[in-house]
C-alpha cells in the first residue's frame, strides 16, 4: 500500500522499521545476559536465606546474626540493583518506541505532503497515511512483544532445566521385569558378600559384609562415625542397592521383588524422627488404609508414648504441625517408633532411633520390644547400653566387620568394641 503511494514513502517507512528492530535487538543483547545473572543471584539469595532459617539456632548460638544478616543483605542489594537496572531499561522502551513512532508518523505526512501525494484532487487521502502508520505500528508492537517474551526465557529456562534434571534423572532402584511374589515371609535377612560404594566415590564404604539377622532376635550394629552402619541397614529397604553381593530375604535376593510388595514387611525408623501435619493418631497409623485405634494405642504403649499423649487435651486427636515442631525431639522419636510398630512388619529397622531418648525410656522401650515383638529387629546405636543385651552385636570399622557376638564375647574378642565400651561404661558397668 505504501509502495502504491510512493516508493520514497516505502523506503522511509522501511528505514523506520529497521531502526526500531535494531533498537530492540540491541536491547535484547544487553538485557538477556542481565536476566541470566539475576536468576543466579536469586538462586544465591534463596540459598543464603534457607541456610540461615534452617540453621537459625546455630546462628544464634554463635552470635553471628549480624554477620549472616549482612551476608544476606549484600546478596539482596546486588539482586535489587541488577533488577532496577533492567527495569529502567524496560521502562525506557515504551517512551522511545512511542517517540520513534510519532516521528515516523510526522515524517510520513511531511513526505506525503511535500511530494504531492496528498493534495487537492489526489486519489489518496490523509486516512491512507494513517492506515499505513497503523499497520506499521501493529507490526512493530508484535516485534516488541516478542522481545519482551525473549527476555523472560532465561528465567523460565533455569526453572525448566531444574525440572528436566529431575525428570531425566536415571532411576537407580528399579523393580524387576518378572518379579517374584513375596509370600510366607519369615523375616530372615542375610547380607551375602556385600560391598557398597556411593556413586562417583573413590573407595567403598562397605567391603565384603556377610552376616545373618534372624527372626525373634535383636541384631545390633555399632562402630565409630563413618564406619558404614547406616549405609548397611539402608540397603535393606533398598534406599541403595549393593555394588557387589546380595541382600536376601528368606534366601531370596530382595531385588527379585517389587518394592511395593517387599516394603510392606519393613518398619523403618530413621535417626531423626519425621512427623507429618495431622494428628497423633494419623501419624502413628501413617501408611495404613484406616486408623485402628486399638493398634494405635498398643503401639504408643510399647513406644513409651502413652503418658505424654494422654496428658494432652485431645490425646490421640492432638494436632501435629508440619515436621512435628510442636513436640519435643524425644516425643517425636517415640511417635516415629510407634508408627513402625503399628505397621506390624516382619522386620524392624532402628537407625540410631533411641539417641533422643533418656536412658530410662530407652531401657523401657527395649524391654517392651522384646516382650511384644516376635520379628527381626535390626538396631543401630552409638550407646553401648542400647545394644548391650542384643542377641547379636556386629562391630563395624571402616566398612569392615571387626567382630560379631554378644557383649560378653566381644569384650574378649574385639579390640574395637572393647575400646568403645571402655570409653562409655564405668568399670562397674563393664563387670556386670
Q: What percent of the chain has pLDDT over 90?
A: 1
Lowest mean pLDDT among 17-31, 61-75, 127-141, 295-309: 127-141
Classify the C-alpha dihedral 301-303-304-309 as positive or negative. negative
The DSSP symbol for 70 reads H
**163 is written with which cell numbers?**
525440572
Coil, strand, or helix at residue 130?
Answer: helix
Mean pLDDT for the stretch of residues 157-173: 78
Per-residue pLDDT of 93-145, as tens digits, reads 777 777 777 777 777 777 766 666 655 555 556 666 677 667 767 776 776 67
Closest alpha carbon to 40 in 146, 161, 145, 148: 161
Lowest mean pLDDT among 163-167, 276-280, 323-327, 366-370: 366-370
User: How far out from the chain centre does Cα 306 lie?
Assistant: 32
Per-residue pLDDT of 5-60, as tens digits, reads 556 666 767 777 777 777 777 777 777 777 777 777 888 888 888 888 888 877 88
Q: Are 394 and 404 in contact, with CB atoms under 8 Å apart? A: yes
Phi-psi label, residue 220: left if phi above 0, alpha if psi -120 to 50, beta otherwise: beta
Q: Are 410 and 393 in contact, with CB atoms under 8 Å apart? A: yes
Q: Would you say how long the chain is, in residues?
A: 432
Burial of 343 (0-12, 13-18, 19+ CB in 10 A): buried
Coil, strand, or helix at residue 199?
Answer: coil
The residue ranges of DSSP E strands in 143-269, in sequence order, are: 189-196, 206-213, 218-223, 244-249, 252-253, 266-269
Domains contained in the chain, CATH given: 2-167 (1.20.1560.10), 189-431 (3.40.50.300)
Per-residue pLDDT of 223-247, as tens digits, reads 888 788 888 888 998 888 888 889 9
Q: Are 129 and 6 in contact, with CB atoms under 8 Å apart? A: no
- CA atoms within 13 A of residue 110's CA, in its CB half-sphere: 8
The residue ranges of DSSP E strands in 238-309, in sequence order, are: 244-249, 252-253, 266-269, 278-279
User: How far out from the chain centre does Cα 96 lie?
Assistant: 46
**160 is written with which cell numbers?**
525448566
Q: Are 244 and 194 in contact, with CB atoms under 8 Å apart? A: yes
User: pLDDT class for 79, splitting at 50, 70, 90?
Assistant: confident
Amino acid at each position: 500500500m505504501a509502495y502504491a503511494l510512493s516508493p520514497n514513502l516505502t523506503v522511509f517507512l522501511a528505514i523506520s522499521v529497521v531502526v526500531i528492530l535494531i533498537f530492540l535487538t540491541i536491547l535484547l543483547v544487553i538485557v538477556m545476559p542481565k536476566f541470566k545473572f539475576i536468576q543466579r543471584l536469586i538462586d544465591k539469595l534463596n540459598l543464603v536465606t534457607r541456610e540461615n532459617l534452617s540453621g537459625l539456632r546455630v546462628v544464634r548460638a554463635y552470635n553471628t546474626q549480624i554477620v549472616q544478616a549482612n551476608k544476606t543483605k549484600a546478596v539482596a542489594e546486588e539482586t535489587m540493583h541488577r533488577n532496577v537496572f533492567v527495569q529502567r531499561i524496560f521502562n525506557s522502551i515504551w517512551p522511545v518506541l512511542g517517540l520513534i513512532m510519532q516521528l515516523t508518523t510526522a515524517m510520513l505526512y511531511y513526505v506525503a505532503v511535500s511530494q504531492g501525494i496528498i493534495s487537492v484532487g489526489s486519489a489518496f487521502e490523509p486516512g491512507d497515511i494513517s492506515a499505513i502508520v497503523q499497520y506499521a505500528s501493529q507490526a512493530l508492537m508484535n516485534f516488541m512483544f516478542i522481545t519482551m517474551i525473549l527476555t523472560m526465557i532465561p528465567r523460565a529456562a533455569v526453572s525448566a532445566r531444574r525440572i528436566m534434571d529431575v525428570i531425566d534423572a536415571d532411576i537407580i532402584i528399579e523393580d524387576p521385569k518378572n518379579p517374584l511374589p513375596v509370600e510366607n515371609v519369615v523375616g530372615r535377612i542375610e547380607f551375602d558378600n556385600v560391598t557398597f560404594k556411593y556413586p562417583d566415590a573413590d573407595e567403598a564404604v562397605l567391603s565384603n559384609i556377610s552376616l545373618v539377622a534372624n527372626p525373634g532376635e535383636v541384631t545390633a550394629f555399632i562402630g565409630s562415625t563413618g564406619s558404614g552402619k547406616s549405609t548397611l541397614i539402608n540397603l535393606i529397604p533398598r534406599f541403595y542397592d549393593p555394588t557387589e553381593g546380595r541382600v536376601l530375604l528368606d534366601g531370596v535376593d530382595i531385588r527379585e521383588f517389587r518394592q511395593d510388595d517387599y516394603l510392606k514387611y519393613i518398619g523403618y525408623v530413621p535417626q531423626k524422627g519425621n512427623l507429618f501435619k495431622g494428628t497423633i493418631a494419623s501419624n502413628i497409623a501413617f501408611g495404613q488404609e484406616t486408623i485402628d485405634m486399638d493398634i494405635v494405642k498398643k503401639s504408643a504403649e510399647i513406644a513409651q508414648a502413652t503418658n505424654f499423649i494422654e496428658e494432652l487435651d485431645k490425646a490421640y486427636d492432638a494436632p501435629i504441625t508440619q515436621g512435628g515442631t510442636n513436640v519435643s525431639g524425644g516425643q517425636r522419636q517415640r511417635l516415629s517408633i510407634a508408627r513402625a510398630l503399628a505397621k506390624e512388619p516382619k522386620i524392624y529397622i532402628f537407625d540410631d532411633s533411641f539417641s533422643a531418648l533418656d536412658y530410662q525410656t530407652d531401657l523401657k522401650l527395649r524391654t517392651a520390644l522384646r516382650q511384644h515383638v516376635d520379628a527381626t529387629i535390626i538396631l543401630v546405636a552409638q550407646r553401648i547400653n542400647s545394644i548391650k543385651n542384643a542377641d547379636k552385636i556386629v562391630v563395624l570399622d571402616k566398612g569392615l566387620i571387626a567382630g560379631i557376638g554378644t557383649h560378653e564375647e566381644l569384650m574378649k574378642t574385639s579390640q574395637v568394641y572393647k575400646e568403645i565400651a571402655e570409653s562409655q561404661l564405668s568399670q562397674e558397668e563393664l563387670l556386670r
